[in-house]
Amino acid sequence: MITRRQWLQASGVFAAALALGPRSAFAQAARTVKIGVGLKSINSSVINLLIGEALGYNAEEGFTVQGLALGGNANVQVATDKGDVDIGIGVPSYALPILAKGQWGNALWFYQYTYPYKWDVAVAPGSAVKSYADLKGRNIGVSDFGGTEYPVTRNVLKSLGIDPDNDVKWTAVGAGVPAGVALQRGAIDALAYYDTGFGIIEGAGIPFELVQRPGNLPMIGGQFLMGLRQRVQAERGLFVGFGRSAAKASHFILARPAAGAKAFLKLYPETAPRGSSEEQAVKSVLAAISRRIKLYEPPYQGAAMGSIRPDEFTTEAKMNNWAIDDVSKIYTNDLIGEINAFDVEKVREQARSYA
């Protein structure tokens, strides 16, 4: 159940976010689709959800997209449930506890736009921490306690027999470059973060080493597109169209990442480092997304892009002792066939020729 405090918080963030949005070449499209993301500001971690605007994919589907940074996953869930955004990003670490309490609303996940596993732990060069086992007794930094890296890394430590509440200390150090600076200055012993976050730190020239991942990492923590169930049913074409735009954009970026970076910067030039040339700006985006783009396609043989595996949910639920009898309430694969009904090679050719 969403509390009044949560709703007021989300409403405030949402109101501030209304001023945000890309510079669109398709401002006269039939309707505007608002997508809420759990970020404090738009960045390239959601590049494959946004560049369809610059590439014409959204116009082909009859809409234009406005990206809204709502500040956190809870705010996105509230905005989606209230209908203040058309599409939101759903994350299991926030959603599954709600489902376990029997308080899940009417949101429905219909496309998985990033697959597991995207998190790592970094240390300063020369650190004595060489494995996750060495994290016992250490101070681990996270961007904030609402970020996905916090619950996911806790789960991994728990699977290794490390008590995440008593065996380690957690410190919120901020996102992006500030997180890297905290590691560099020794304010924390290690930094748990996700792929695009490490890319931003790397792009800033801050050195770090990734701790070797343990074997048999749980396939948990994917990220999903969601809408209200009744709207997905009543406006099926809209949600298929958005999923198709995201799938096309994902193939576009995979075919030529630099072209995807250019398209993103056309929409969001303010995300480029201050004073950078076009070449430097493109490089900064590529540094941020180089790890993430490998996760656009499902790691399961024969699976269609965007398709959802329920065992990701049941695995995470078991790790946290969340009693969930039926995960089917939260997702559907019913739109995936239509979403992927396009010429992939045509998209790849567009990427190769994009200027």
For the stretch 153-173, pLDDT in tens is 998 898 889 999 999 999 999
Cis peptide before 132 (omega within 30 of 0): no
The stretch 211-232 carries a mean pLDDT of 91
> What's the angle, vertex CA 260, arms to CA 256 and CA 262, rounded to 5?
115
249 pLDDT above the threshold of 60: yes
Question: What per-residue confidence (pLDDT) applies to 16?
Answer: 41
The stretch 348-353 carries a mean pLDDT of 98
110 pLDDT above the threshold of 90: yes
pLDDT above 70 as % of the chain: 92
The stretch 297-323 carries a mean pLDDT of 93
pTM: 0.80
The stretch 185-207 carries a mean pLDDT of 91
* Rounded CA separation 289/190 (Å): 22
Question: What per-residue confidence (pLDDT) applies to 291?
Answer: 85
- pLDDT, the chain, mean: 90
Question: What per-residue confidence (pLDDT) applies to 104?
Answer: 94
Question: What per-residue confidence (pLDDT) applies to 197?
Answer: 87
The stretch 56-66 carries a mean pLDDT of 97
The stretch 168-181 carries a mean pLDDT of 95
Question: What per-residue confidence (pLDDT) applies to 15?
Answer: 44
Sequence spans of domains, the chain: 4-115+221-272+296-353, 119-210
52 pLDDT above the threshold of 60: yes
pLDDT above 90 as % of the chain: 75
* Rounded CA separation 20/34 (Å): 11
Question: What per-residue confidence (pLDDT) applies to 28?
Answer: 47
Judge whether 4-115+221-272+296-353 and 119-210 match in fold.
yes
User: H-type helices in the chain, by residue range?
Assistant: 4-17, 47-50, 52-55, 57-61, 73-82, 92-100, 149-159, 177-184, 195-203, 229-234, 236-255, 257-267, 278-289, 310-319, 336-339, 344-353
The stretch 168-186 carries a mean pLDDT of 95
Residue 16: CB partners within 8 Å, gap ≥ 6? none
pLDDT band per the 50, 70, 90 thresholds, residue 276: very high
Lowest-pLDDT range of 84-93, 108-117, 155-164: 155-164
Using CA atoms, how far residue 134 sits from 75, 167, 189, 209, 274, in Å, is 35, 11, 11, 14, 38
Question: What per-residue confidence (pLDDT) applies to 30?
Answer: 67
- The CATH number of 4-115+221-272+296-353, from 3.40.50.10300, 2.130.10.10, 3.40.50.10800, 3.40.190.10, is 3.40.190.10
Question: What per-residue confidence (pLDDT) applies to 141?
Answer: 97
Question: What per-residue confidence (pLDDT) applies to 22?
Answer: 46
Q: Domain spanning 119-210: which CATH class is it, in words?
A: alpha beta
Look at 220 and 306; give whichever has higher pLDDT.
306
Question: What per-residue confidence (pLDDT) applies to 14?
Answer: 45
Contacts 24+ apart (CB under 8 A), 10-17: 10/70, 10/74, 10/75, 10/78, 10/79, 10/82, 11/84, 13/70, 13/71, 13/72, 13/75, 14/68, 14/70, 14/75, 14/79, 14/84, 14/85, 17/68, 17/69, 17/70, 17/71
